[in-house]
Amino acid sequence: MELMDKAAEYLKDEHLKSPDPDPWKVKTWDKSDYLSYKVDALVDEFIAKRNKKAMEKDMEHGILIGEDETYYLLTRLSKPVEYYLSTDENFGRLADLMGKYVAEGREKGHKILNTNIPPENIVVMEVAANIYLLKKEKQQQQAKPLPPGNARGKKR
């Protein structure tokens, strides 16, 4: 327990004035509060760094769609993202492919999280999502309901 007390005292004296950033909250902090606050902060920082590295690696080979960096869906591509950004033709293929996924994600409040794709290209992918939604709506309007009976329309 001596080691814990020394660690808490070190953190109290050296690094932390108040674990709570809200100065209006008045609370008496004991040694264990300072220590647990600092450990939590260090663990959160470590996890955030690890997740950022994994996210950057995922961005190289796919499109990330989500609300924020903590949760996202990865659509893995057959070639690196840089390949699809290298020519307009390749990017056109990517935009067509991603239209469906971007549209579905947008309905859930998600967005494209890739920082390795220029903003103007993300706008093009959003337009592709709009085109996908329009095509889907048109197909649904043109679909004819089957007549009563079996699939050929004959009653038995």
State pLDDT tens for residues 77-126.
999 999 999 998 988 888 888 888 888 888 888 888 999 999 999 888 88
Residue 156 has pLDDT above 80, yes or no: no
130-136 mean pLDDT: 86
- For residue 139, how far is the Cα from the chain centroid? 30
| Tens-digit pLDDT profile for residues 10-36 | 666 545 455 555 555 555 556 566 677
d(CA 57, CA 22): 36
120-135 mean pLDDT: 87
Instruction: Let me know the angle formed at the C-alpha of 34 by 33 and 38, rounded to the nearest 5 degrees.
Output: 115
* Pairing verdict, β 71-76 and 111-112: unpaired
| Tens-digit pLDDT profile for residues 26-64 | 555 565 666 777 788 888 889 888 888 999 999 999 999
> How many other CB atoms are there within 10 angstroms of residue 1's CB atom?
5
Residue 62 backbone phi and psi in degrees, to 5: -170, 180
CB half-sphere exposure, 10, CA atoms < 13 A: 9
Please report the pLDDT score of residue 154 as a whole number: 57
